[in-house]
Amino acid sequence: MSTFLELGPDGVLSGMGEGEWVPAQRRDQGESVSLAVAMGRLWARGVEVDWSTYFAGAQRVDLPTYAFQHERYWLSAAPVPQADTEFWDLVDRGVFDEFATDESERATLQKALPLLAQWRQRHAQKQARDEWRYRVDWAPVPELPARLRGTWLVLAPAGDAPMDCLEALTAAGAQPVLMIGDDLPGAAADVTGVLALPSLDPAALAVTVRTLGASGIRAPLWVLTRNATGQDGPPASGQAAVWGLGRVVALEHPDRWGGLVDLPETMDAHVWARVAVALSGGEDQVAVRPTGLVARRIVPAPTQPAEPWQPTGTVLVTGGTGALGSHVARELAAGGADHLILVSRRGLDAPGARELAAELAATGTTVTVAACDIADREALTGLLAALPDDQPLTAVLHAAGTLHDATVQTVTAEHVRDVLRPKVDGYAALRDVTRDHDLTAFVAFSSLAGVVGQPGQGVYAAANAALDAMAQAYRAEGVPALSVAWGPWAEGGMATAHGDRLRSHGIMPLPTGPALAALWQAITRDEANVTIADLDWERFIAAYGVSPAIAALAPAPPVLAAPARSLSEQLAAEPEAERDRLLVRHVQQEAAALLGYADPAAVTAGAAFRDLGFDSLAAVQLRNRLAAATGLDLPTGLAFDHPTPVALGAFLRSQLIPAHSDAGPLATLDRLTEDLFRDDSAGPDPQLREQLSERLEAVLNRLRAQPRGFDEATLDAADDDEIFRIIDEDLGLS
């Protein structure tokens, strides 16, 4: 059935016409109210409404998935002067009768008001784009005396004996122990720190994290890289990838992570001494240079006035039939590109590819949709060789990529290869095959995950951090390279599946139109890297914590009350019957906070975490919250190993109760021993010593007189002679 919108001046036709008629004006309602009702009715009937235009400058908020919570979710905006509100409402609606007193004024305002409305919309969009832009900066770090302590494991590749490193650690107060190759101890609970020398790639870093955990080493891991940051010439993309993965390790295993330290190409004793300073200085992302230390910072990067990019000739878009690539292709066609080459793995067989090609061709743009492995230089060369002379390649926009959700505990070398190939190898291949082309833009679509990390996306973060480094290196060669680290897009993209979770953590989706405008503006600026993301830092920091790199962006902390008792202290104070309920309630509270529920009761005690919407990201965050509350070393897969709040509460109790229980003979014996030898190393006086010896000897004799007994494990491990001996002892025959 057709739907019609009647513009007015009243709903005269809406009561007469056939089909669905929606009046935009009603004489019994104000104009703003009747138009809003009309838009809502159209939307409810399935008509697409551009809400971002209708509510220009408005902010999206999350609504409850359950419609009957009876809670208020609307923003409480700061009061705006009524005159200002009414003025801009009239301007936006083009109601010039309110201002004009005669026909000449009406004619003037009829031209002026649309210009004012356009100015306001541009201003609102520019303000939003400015607030979305961030860049990486480096701040000098004061060099305080290095103070280390305890045993430090130094992980070095085979054949490397870094004496300067060991001497610097020793001079700072540490006792370094050199571990060559894969030679890690079976257990080393007394280790204070672990230092991995610059030989790791992302896959090796993941293995190192797992191996240290399996070895029982809980000390913080510091990873050294060489020129990952671009502080000493063009950065090395492989080492930058280690930084990307390291930032995810910091989120997934905060109790076992120290930080990242980048080294210059040339090393000497002075540089190693600064490494020791960095290890004890409180920063977690540091570059060491011969002139001093600098620490990584994320800072705002507002735009400067500049003309947006104007595409011409042939533009190649990788991932061109995907969600983001198709948005880019439409903008290119609308902006004047003569020829678009849309490259994807499946070409015209990709979903929606033929429809997209037809849509773009209807605008007058020539469209080529090609199936091509962009990491294959030979295939790319053949694709570009077919270009006509009058349509030269002028720009490349690299939007292809693969997302693989996996915690660092489950990352494999195959995962790393699969994710790096389209992102990193593809960008390198594009650089090689376009060396002889006069490009105006060479743009890579990177990700916010590579800049700040994202639990469960370690490999993806590594690939995007490498992409950012490659753009820096290419720009240093004179290529107009730009890597844009995007937050999630509102209309498609690889982050769509995690949209609700990301919103709850302060990472808001970007509307397509303003995001593309921000991209076109960034292309004309002299910058190799920029982050474009809509971030609510208060919610972000509540979810992920504050690192020194983003500390300046954190909102001012509230005045804190006296610290509450820890969970362990609460548990110890509760009677036996209440301990299980306390732990289950705490699990429900933490899960509800992650899911965005105001009431912990919304998380049913017996419900499976998977059914509640938990994924690997939420599982890691729940583990981190519970580890911080309990002080326990908990596995990252905790929520899936113990799949309900009841099961998880029972597991936590099994880990916590022994630490607080004052019952049982062994605990009693421990307290007795502590009391006897607390103040006097010689022990009790001779008379008491004699009495204690007699009592303990009597207890020991009674223990020896008890039947020994046996269990299934004992029998499985015993040979025939041992089995007969056990039977004889239990029957009293031996």
Closest CA to 241 of 269, 200, 276: 200
CB atoms within 10 A of CB 83: 8
Place of tokens 């138009």: 35
What is the per-residue pLDDT across 399-433, written as a single tens digit (0 to 9) for each?
A: 998 888 888 988 888 889 999 999 999 999 999 99
- The answer on pLDDT for 112 being more than 80 is no
How does the average pLDDT of the chain come out, rounded? 82
Per-residue confidence at 68, pLDDT binned at 50, 70, 90?
low
- The answer on pLDDT for 276 being more than 60 is yes
Which of 85-89, 334-338, 378-382 is the least confident region?
A: 85-89
Residue with the larger pLDDT of the pair 157 and 298:
298
How many alpha carbons lie under 13 Å from residue 517 in its C-beta half-sphere?
17
pLDDT at 659: 45
Closest CA to 21 of 6, 8, 39: 6
Which of 35-49, 140-154, 569-583, 695-709 is the least confident region?
A: 695-709
| pTM assigned to the model | 0.71
- The answer on pLDDT for 732 being more than 60 is no
- The answer on pLDDT for 210 being more than 70 is yes
Per-residue confidence at 661, pLDDT binned at 50, 70, 90?
very low
What is the per-residue pLDDT across 27-53, written as a single tens digit (0 to 9) for each?
A: 667 777 788 888 888 888 878 888 877
Which of 87-91, 161-165, 308-312 is the least confident region?
A: 87-91
What is the per-residue pLDDT across 487-520, written as a single tens digit (0 to 9) for each?
A: 999 877 666 666 677 888 899 999 999 999 999 9
Non-local (6+) Cβ contacts of 321 within 8 A are: 342, 344, 346, 347, 350, 351, 352, 353, 356, 369
Q: Which tokens hold the place of 94? A: 């083009």
> Going from the N-terminus, what domains does the chain have, and what CATH number goes with each?
141-300 (3.40.50.11460), 314-540 (3.40.50.720), 567-660 (1.10.1200.10), 665-731 (no CATH)
Cα–Cα–Cα angle for 572, 577, 583, rounded to 5 degrees: 60
Residue with the larger pLDDT of the pair 194 and 579:
194
Within 545-615, where are the H helices? Answer: 567-573, 576-595
Please give, one letter per residue, the 3-state secondary structure of 38-80: HHHHHHHCCCCCCHHHHCCCCCCCCCCCCCCCCCCCCCCCCCC
Per-residue confidence at 148, pLDDT binned at 50, 70, 90?
very high
- The answer on pLDDT for 670 being more than 70 is no
pLDDT at 660: 44
- The answer on pLDDT for 22 being more than 50 is yes
Per-residue confidence at 1, pLDDT binned at 50, 70, 90?
low
Closest CA to 318 of 429, 435, 399: 399
Per-residue confidence at 325, pLDDT binned at 50, 70, 90?
very high
- Looking at the chain, the whole-number percentage of residues with pLDDT higher than 90 is 40
Compute the average pLDDT of residues 665-684.
59
SS3 state of residue 317: strand
Which of 228-242, 255-269, 292-306 is the least confident region?
A: 292-306
User: Rounded CA gap, 724 and 719, in Å?
Assistant: 9
Which of 572-581, 623-632, 721-730 is the least confident region?
A: 721-730
Which of 54-58, 88-92, 259-263, 581-585 is the least confident region?
A: 88-92
Per-residue confidence at 229, pLDDT binned at 50, 70, 90?
very high
What is the per-residue pLDDT across 160-199, written as a single tens digit (0 to 9) for each?
A: 778 999 999 999 999 999 998 766 655 566 899 999 999 8
User: Rounded CA gap, 731 and 156, in Å?
Assistant: 59
DSSP assignment string, 406-456: B-GGG--HHHHHHHHIIIIIHHHHHHHHTTTS--SEEEEEEETHHHH--TT
Which of 126-130, 140-144, 442-446, 653-657 is the least confident region?
A: 126-130
pLDDT at 702: 73
- Looking at the chain, the whole-number percentage of residues with pLDDT higher than 70 is 77
Residue with the larger pLDDT of the pair 54 and 127:
54
Q: What are phi and psi of 257, to 5 degrees?
A: -115, 135
Cα–Cα–Cα angle for 312, 314, 317, rounded to 5 degrees: 110
Q: Which tokens hold the place of 67? A: 């419609």
Question: Is 675 exposed, middle or buried, given 0-12, 13-18 or 19+ CB atoms closer than 10 A?
Answer: exposed
Non-local (6+) Cβ contacts of 193 within 8 A are: 148, 150, 152, 153, 174, 219, 220, 222, 258, 279
Which of 270-274, 478-482, 568-572 is the least confident region?
A: 568-572
Which of 28-32, 102-106, 471-475, 481-485 is the least confident region?
A: 102-106
SS3 state of residue 611: coil
- The answer on pLDDT for 240 being more than 70 is yes
Place of tokens 């491990």: 717
